[in-house]
A and B are shown apart, each in its own frame.
Chain A
């Protein structure tokens, strides 16, 4: 049987040639901002690294009371366990970084406009899930840092009036962070979140196939004859692969040169260590709440801070409804200012946060 015959046999049953025809027609626009197109793919790459290293960690990780001991074993006893754990931690950060870059590039290219609104919504949901992955995964080693990070993080839902403390107790599985917390965060991290993330990611990627890459308004305004593009297969795909290879090299270099540490086992009676601060992607909201708390002390400040962050998120989510077409230049400009303001606030609060870490 020749290879051709095997292909024909499968093709007749699964319709591979339709996929091939589709791939052949897929193109990617070429313009001065084309390099921004890599960041979605990079986010996907780091997510795949997370799946692989996550499964590898799962082979030795034991949630519950033995959590710290099992992570100690992975880090110091199993061959290359330190490297796999370190890659998982670094790739988490790089994935969130890539998603943020991807999000802002989509924003300023106005790729959320009709007909790509669902791409924007699903993308933001994926970012929200990625951050929740980060938060839940951070507790799993059950060292000092994870303990306090989770403790402080859960104070945020706890400050919501009326239902807050019930929600926080439910997430914690008790009144304080303990073995039950790590057990349910584990279930969240390896079962619940992936079960939501994967289909949503599939939807997001399907939308990209359906609508193609958006070009920035200045390019879309050009007559079709002046717009340049290249085929996805093989031109853009090879460039994408090259970016993934670079990403893999950067990732392994970071993981090997700056391996993720493991602190002391958590002790509910020990004071918080000096200089403790949230992960970089939580620094900005953390600092915002702190700054508002300084202006408006007490629970009024907490609620005002939460409201402000939530209003910001909702406005950001709804931007496709405000700036929906090319027709209104004024709205397009306002959206741009909003994006720039958000970048400024995120960078400024993060900088202040790191500046004031003691």
Chain B
């Protein structure tokens, strides 16, 4: 490992330093490349499920077969990409779809038909069941609405 000290010096003084420095830089670079070649596959391997979820999360439209049969005053939970969402058929006949992830700390919220509101059991956040607006409690932002298309065979929910 100390080979370079036995090299014949071409000249006295600073030149000896010149033979050592490029060697050390090259060795350091090779070492770094080696570490990168080890770390990169491990990182990609560990990140695989995340990447798969990203692909799922990238969807823009979710068809819900037979959801048009949902009775008024009830809710159907479904997955929009990788996150839970809900389709509400209101008593007045309106169809509303929105994300079901509380904007406070990520709990899944629930539709309460009696109170006609959306409630988060974790910290008592309340949202408007028509607009998704945060009404009371800790949630800082409203729930995002989706676009709803009711057809004869089902309900298509898509990104607004």
A residues with CB within 8 A of B: 56, 59, 77-81, 83-84, 234, 238
Task: Name the interface size band of chain B.
Answer: 10 to 19
C-alpha spacing A56/B43, complex, angstroms: 11
Residues in A with CB closer than 8 Å to B42 are: 56, 80, 84
B residues with CB within 8 A of A: 1, 41-42, 44-49, 51-52
Decide: B41 and A79 in contact? CB cutoff 8 A. yes
- A79-B41, A79-B45, A84-B42 known; 19 new pairs, CB 8 Å cut-off, are A56-B45, A56-B46, A77-B48, A77-B52, A78-B45, A78-B48, A78-B49, A79-B44, A79-B47, A79-B48, A80-B41, A80-B44, A81-B45, A81-B48, A83-B41, A84-B41, A84-B45, A234-B1, A238-B1
Residues in B with CB closer than 8 Å to A79 are: 41, 44-45, 47-48, 51
C-alpha spacing A264/B13, complex, angstroms: 68
Residues in A with CB closer than 8 Å to B1 are: 234, 238
Q: List 14 A-B contacts (CB under 8 A).
A: A56-B42, A77-B48, A78-B45, A78-B49, A79-B41, A79-B44, A79-B47, A79-B48, A79-B51, A80-B41, A80-B44, A84-B41, A84-B42, A234-B1
* Among candidates B41, B46, B51, residue contacting A59 with C-beta atoms closer than 8 Å: B46
C-alpha spacing A81/B49, complex, angstroms: 12
C-alpha spacing A80/B45, complex, angstroms: 6
Minimum CB–CB distance for B23 against chain A, Å: 15
C-alpha spacing A78/B44, complex, angstroms: 8
Residues in B with CB closer than 8 Å to A84 are: 41-42, 45
C-alpha spacing A80/B47, complex, angstroms: 11
Q: Which residue on chain A has the smallest CB distance to residue B44?
A: A79
Minimum CB–CB distance for B88 against chain A, Å: 36
C-alpha spacing A77/B42, complex, angstroms: 14
C-alpha spacing A99/B92, complex, angstroms: 77
C-alpha spacing A59/B42, complex, angstroms: 12
Residues in A with CB closer than 8 Å to B41 are: 79-80, 83-84
Minimum CB–CB distance for B106 against chain A, Å: 24
C-alpha spacing A59/B48, complex, angstroms: 11
C-alpha spacing A102/B59, complex, angstroms: 57
Residues in A with CB closer than 8 Å to B46 are: 56, 59
Minimum CB–CB distance for A244 against chain B, Å: 12
Minimum CB–CB distance for B50 against chain A, Å: 11
Minimum CB–CB distance for A4 against chain B, Å: 24
Minimum CB–CB distance for B27 against chain A, Å: 12
